[in-house]
Amino acid sequence: MSKTLPLDKILQSQGFGTRKWCAELIEDGEVCVNGAVVTDSGARVATDGLQLTVYGEAWPYRERVYIALNKPSNYECSRKASHHPGVLKLLPEQFDRRDVQPVGRLDHDTTGLLLMSDDGPFIHRQSSPKHHVPKIYVATTHEPVTAALVEQLLKGVKLTDEPETLTAVSCRQLAEHEIEIVLAEGKYHQVKRMLVAAGNHCVSLRRAQIGLLKLDDLKLAVGEWCYLGDAELALLKPV
């Protein structure tokens, strides 16, 4: 069943400002609904398939947003960044207003696939180690990758502040100084610390895949983002 809501409330839900501000925006003729200007801020509008245009820019209505970002280096995965810009600076400001958050965290110098959403249960499911959604990382190492290094990561390494041995779900050499590591959890600096514990050192790190969702398939340049639809979201389940 199609849901109808007052237009100013719809605009507010999309992150365009307070309800009062959105009402003024509508009354000033700056908002189109499915191609037609509407100046009645209280007009009830069906949300199914709703296409808004605000200040001449198309803005499809989305009750919840699911976003993939190809995270650049030197951005923090935090809504309150401290030492580097936050990743929300890479998105339209409307997303900040509607409380879009990173799903988990990548270190400021780690690049690659980052999910973002304003759907709390989704964020919890993707962040919880109980759901065992694998994450694939590609690390460039200081020393050459060896068969012994791969074996050690598969066997498990002990970190000083972790009660249990940490193991890679799978691991394989990609090049002389490049290794792919698959993890089922996401502990603090985990890949970097595991490599150190196994006798090597991480020079750079990129997350290439979450579940079955591959960054390369999204064809995002560094710093670019896209919405995720049902087909992509279905790939984010445990495998």
The string of pLDDT tens digits covering residues 95-119 is 999 999 999 888 889 999 999 999 9
The catalytic residue among 96, 107, 109, 119 is 107
Is residue 226 within 8 Å of 67, Cβ to Cβ?
Answer: yes
Domains of the chain listed by start with CATH number:
4-60 (3.10.290.10), 66-129+213-236 (3.30.70.580), 134-210 (3.30.70.1560)
Q: Which of 90, 105, 123 is nearest to 220 (CA)?
A: 90
Structure tokens at 83: 């030492």
Q: pLDDT tens, 50-84?
A: 999 999 999 999 999 999 999 999 999 877 767 88
> In degrees, to the nearest 5, what angle opens at C-alpha 216 toward C-alphas 142 and 73?
50
Is residue 21 within 8 Å of 55, Cβ to Cβ?
Answer: no
Dist. CA 21–CA 221, nearest whole Å: 34
Question: pTM score, two decimals?
Answer: 0.91
**DSSP strands (E only) in the chain:** 4-6, 31-33, 36-37, 44-46, 51-54, 57-60, 66-71, 101-102, 111-117, 135-141, 170-175, 178-183, 202-210, 213-214, 225-227
Residues of the chain with pLDDT under 70: 1-2, 81, 239
pLDDT at 81: 66
- Clarify whether 107 is annotated catalytic: yes
